[in-house]
Amino acid sequence: MILDVKGLNVDYISAAGAVRAVNDVSFQLRRGEILGVAGESGCGKSTLIMGLIRLLRPPAAITGGEVWLHPREGRPVDIARRTDKELRKLRWRSIAVVLQSAMDALNPVARLSAQFADVLREHGYRNVEERTAELLEMVGISPDRARSYPHEMSGGMRQRAMIALALACDPEIVVMDEPTTAVDVVMQRQILAQILELRQKLGFSVVFVTHDLSLLVELADRIAIMYGGRIVELGEAAEIYRSPKHPYTKGLRDSFPPLHAPVTRLSGIPGTPPDLRNLPHGCAFEPRCPSRFDECAQRRPELLDVGDGLAACHLHDRERTAHA
Amino acid sequence: MKVRIGIGIIAFFAVIAIVGPWLNDLLGVGPWKIDYDAISQAPSGEHLLGTTSQGTDVLAQMIAGTRNSMVVGSVAAIIGVVLAVVLGVTAGFFGGKVDAVLSFVTNMFLVLPVLPLTLIVAGYVQDTGPVTIALIIGLFGWAPGARTLRAQTLSLRRRDFVMAMRMVGETRARLIFVEVLPHLAGWISAMFLHLVLGAVLAEAGLAFLGISSADTVSWGTIIDQARQVAMLNGMWWWFVPPGLCIALLGTATGLVNFGIDEVMNPRLRTADIKAMRKALA
Amino acid sequence: MKQGKGRFLTRRVAFYVATAWSAITLNFLIPRLMPGDPTSVIVRQLQKQSGESIPPEAVEAIQKLFGDPRAGLLQQYWDYLGSVARLDFGLSISRFPTPVGELLGAGLPWTLLLVGTTTLLAFAIGTGLGIAAGWKPGGRLDGFLSPLSTFLSALPYFWVALIALYVFGLVLGWFPLGGGYDPDLYGRPGFLGSVLEHLVMPAATIVFSAFGGWLLGMRNMMITTVSEDYVLLGKAKGLSSGRVMFRYAARNALLPSVTGFAMAIGGVLGGALLTEIVFSYPGIGYLLYDAVSKRDYPLMQGVFLLTTLTVLLANFVADSVYVMIDPRTREAGR
């Protein structure tokens, strides 16, 4: 285990009050594992990973919980409680990040080489130029492109350069926030294949956030489904896809075409994502749920073990009582 | 809060400008009334802000001057805003050749130094009353506003709802007046305030250079007259108030614009961040 | 890529040439658009002002300003363009028969010294403080600097100059009351020192009134930039906050500031000219005051042309800096 998240809360605080975007989220990330996090926009998945690496922008802030990092060397660290200064040494060495759009995430006025050089120097690398060339080659970019500015590269190349940059200091965890939404489908396949290959070679763990569940099935070892700021289902990727335990997961699965199968009928989830300022009293998914019953509106289901993974749904209470 | 203070100050000057003459009557003073017993007097119970070297009451002049300064400011600002809206929105909305020509003219006026340009025009014009001055200032002050409005209109035009209205076949006039202009209201009001201040400053500058008519009194003319006499005699009560009023008006517009900016550009909002710091402390 | 930059600058130069031509043409048209016979109006005005009759040469100089009425407008325009090309702005009326060009030539170095140093200084100070204020918006520094600069940037330059002159010149006597140098020291060893001594107060006034505007502009740009993804990534990399602040945030926030610099220079110049007048500084501003108060139209127009050309040149310099610091050099910018 490399990362142990316990009861993490993230709030958006304004003069009018606080809105909880990430609510009591707990999970563990294993060494070398790819954990997918999926959900509709606004479900808190991006806020969650920004909280994990303490990169929340005001007015978002961690208001509770623990994020224990177990690094290769040294003692475990609770990221949620370290000062910014203490975190600096861990950043990029232990946890690196790949953002959604490399166009926005790369400094537009600096050459690629400079953006590799500053982080390499910061973390004590000496042979900066060779290392940069090595990293670029790893993602299939010719090393002489290091002299380019971001705007001089194609979208796919920029995104791959971002990944190379994330691997610069040989991190233990790479957090990826929808890294393939800004590129076309062909490029998306290439990048996913590359991530898998690099993970094989270098052994880092990945937290991969996307709204596209079918993509995660190809990539992730385990998948967490988020809804209304909470994890509503967590389990093995194949299992989640084959037999989702939560009606929301099922809806999510059926609204995307599988990457590797003939396109069947797609059905979206009716209704709209919940308003975080005004969540239902019971299950957050209840208003949109096709299998809801009385209980759902009254009591919020806990995330419990349902055999092949965890799910937060009253349907499984029934089964449990039926079995008992 | 900031915005409220700003609006309060602007409202204060506006009220003074409107009721000025009555206020002076009420106080029993007049801008041209000469008190031969009190020449170059420091502030006292009788003359709250003291008197000038001619024996006129500084407070009375300030009150009368507020009206003229505000008239110049608002007339110039109205002219400037109208020009900026017409040129900026047209350029942004129609694009193409219209945009190319209008943008060229706008960019040109943007780089021409306004003060010398205003000066030579004002220098040739024989009548230099407040309205004429306002006209000239407004005529040369629209360019920055037009530039902003053009950019905003361009981005509005690309937005879904305007696109949709176009497809539905709305007339251009209706689109501009019903869909585009209301969305620019924030920018336009910010621009208006900016222009008021710019015009008050420009009028003061022109008066300072001696371009004003002899029978009007404004904040600028007071500074101009005070400069020649008050400085050497240490009559601070004469030249401090007009400058302070200009600065106050400027601060007020700045404060209001802070507020408008924060509404138009949510990234600039600092209130939330403050609330967060407080909540976490 | 290099070609793109070249093309950008070429286009800007074309724009400035067109603008300069428009200003020159405007300068030609304004006097001619005035109703009636402007020459006689001005001559009468001047006579009333000075109480003595105007020498015929001066009348001729005024006449020349408006062109020979017998010649066609096109011919007049052609002659006018020729004289502008020869830097011949006619003869000054208030200091007849000194050529306007000569007066401008004498004043220009002083104005460049004053406005050049103060503009750069105000830009540097304002931008520096703006970076600090915008890095932590709503923080203690921002809470102090932003309202302060809102107030300062609203102060009329010449009024600040008056107050400074009154307090530091008259009451405290720390600085000379006016002029650009001590005439007794002209050409002697202490000359440079006296130039500096006379520079301090006008320069300080301009910096004081101008830096607030730069501060606010840079602050707002910083706030916008700080929430960009690349700044976040800089932090994620574990770089020091100083490095993220300057190399990532400020470096990018500076770009629009440079464009703003180009546009604001005209306004700053106007304010500086008024400041010169307060301190009787022997630059273009003082000439302008003379020209306006004595209705010296040729001199007025000469000042207008000179300031316009100076501002255009400054704009071109700002453009070149922009090209140097922005690798993208957006064609569509501004």
* Residue C157 and residue C207 in one domain: yes
Q: Which of A118, A111, A114 is nearest to C327 (CA)?
A: A111
**Cis ω for the linkage preceding C156 (within 30 of 0):** no
Q: Which chains touch A (3 or more CB pairs under 8 A)?
A: B, C
In a domain, C92, yes or no: no
In this predicted model, which residue has the larger pLDDT, B256 or A221?
A221
In a domain, C91, yes or no: no
Given the structure tokens 């050049």, which residue do they identify?
C116
In a domain, C286, yes or no: yes
* Chain A residues with beta carbon closer than 8 angstroms to that of B273: 58-59
Q: A9 - beta bridge partners?
A: A64
pLDDT at site B15? 87
The number of distinct structural domains making up chain C is 2
In a domain, C334, yes or no: no
* Residue C8 and residue C145 in one domain: no
36-65 in chain B: CB under 8 A from chain C: none
* Residue C64 and residue C105 in one domain: no
pLDDT at site C70? 64
Length of chain A: 324
**Cis ω for the linkage preceding A273 (within 30 of 0):** no
Q: What is the CATH number of domain A3-94+171-323?
A: 3.40.50.300
Give the percent of chain A with pLDDT over 70.
94
Pick the last residue of a domain from C25, C60, C85: C85
- Taking only the tens place, the pLDDT of each residue in C84-133 is 888 888 888 777 778 888 899 988 999 988 988 898 899 999 999 999 99
Q: For residue B259, give both structure tokens.
A: 């507020």
* Chain A residues with beta carbon closer than 8 angstroms to that of C238: 87-93, 119, 122-123
Overall average pLDDT of the A191-215 stretch: 92
pLDDT at site B70? 87
d(CA B183, CA B179): 7
* Residue C125 and residue C223 in one domain: yes
Residue ranges per structural domain of chain A: 3-94+171-323
- Contact predicate A15/A65, CB 8 Å: no
* Residue A322 banded pLDDT, cuts 50, 70, 90: low
95-114 in chain B: CB under 8 A from chain C: 104, 107-108, 110-114
* Residue C40 and residue C174 in one domain: no
pLDDT at site B213? 73
The radius of gyration of chain A's CA atoms, rounded to the nearest angstrom, is 20
Q: B51 - beta bridge partners?
A: B57
In the predicted model, residues of chain B with pLDDT beneath 70 are 28-32, 35-36, 38-40, 45-49, 53, 55, 126-127, 160-161, 265-281
How many CB atoms lie under 10 A from the CB of residue B2?
18
| Partner C contacted by B262 (CB < 8 A) | no
Tell me the range of B130-144, C37-51, C226-240 where mean pLDDT is highest. C226-240
State whether A105 and C229 contact (CB < 8 Å).
yes
Query: Between vectors from CA A294 to CA A289 and to CA A297, what angle results, nearest 5°?
Result: 65
* Residue C287 and residue C314 in one domain: yes
* Residue C1 banded pLDDT, cuts 50, 70, 90: very low
Question: B213 CA to chain C: closest CA distance, Å?
Answer: 13
**CATH number of the domain encompassing residue B260:** 1.10.3720.10
* Residue C314 and residue C221 in one domain: yes
d(CA B260, CA B251): 14
What are the residues whose beta carbons fall under 8 Å from the beta carbon of A206, sequence distance 6 or more? A33, A34, A35, A173, A174, A175, A176, A195, A199
**CATH number of the domain encompassing residue C166:** 1.10.3720.10
* Residue C208 and residue C323 in one domain: yes
- Taking only the tens place, the pLDDT of each residue in A128-177 is 999 999 999 999 999 999 999 999 999 889 999 999 999 999 999 999 99
- Contact predicate A98/A179, CB 8 Å: yes
Q: A227 - beta bridge partners?
A: A230
* Residue C177 banded pLDDT, cuts 50, 70, 90: confident
149-208 in chain A: CB under 8 A from chain C: 149, 151-152
* Residue C81 and residue C116 in one domain: no
Question: A14 CA to chain B: closest CA distance, Å?
Answer: 5
Question: Domain containing B100: what range?
Answer: 1-280
* Chain B residues with beta carbon closer than 8 angstroms to that of C158: 204-205, 208, 223
Which of C21, C42, C162, C168 should we substitute to test contact with B (largest number of B Cβ atoms within 10 Å)? C162
d(CA A57, CA B273): 10
From residue C204, alpha-carbon distances to B30, C122, C211 in Å are 38, 9, 11
* Residue C53 and residue C123 in one domain: no
Question: C289 CA to chain B: closest CA distance, Å?
Answer: 6
Question: Domain containing C10: what range?
Answer: 2-85
pLDDT at site A320? 66
Residue A321 pLDDT more than 60? Answer: yes
pLDDT at site A229? 92
pLDDT at site A36? 95
d(CA C272, CA C103): 18
From residue B17, alpha-carbon distances to A49, A157, B66, B71, C199 in Å are 57, 63, 5, 8, 39
* Residue C72 and residue C137 in one domain: no
Q: For residue C303, give both structure tokens.
A: 């000042």
d(CA A288, CA A225): 16
- Taking only the tens place, the pLDDT of each residue in A30-55 is 999 999 999 988 888 999 999 999 99
* Residue C309 and residue C233 in one domain: yes
Pick the last residue of a domain from C50, C85, C120: C85
pLDDT at site C333? 39
State whether C328 and A122 contact (CB < 8 Å).
no
* Chain C residues with beta carbon closer than 8 angstroms to that of B235: none
State whether A13 and B275 contact (CB < 8 Å).
yes
Strand order in the sheet with A60-69: A17-29, A3-14, A60-69, A77-78
SS3 assignment, position A301: coil
d(CA C127, CA A262): 59
ipTM summary value:
0.88
In this predicted model, which residue has the larger pLDDT, C204 or B132?
C204
Give the percent of chain C with pLDDT over 90.
17
pLDDT at site C331? 40
The number of distinct structural domains making up chain B is 1
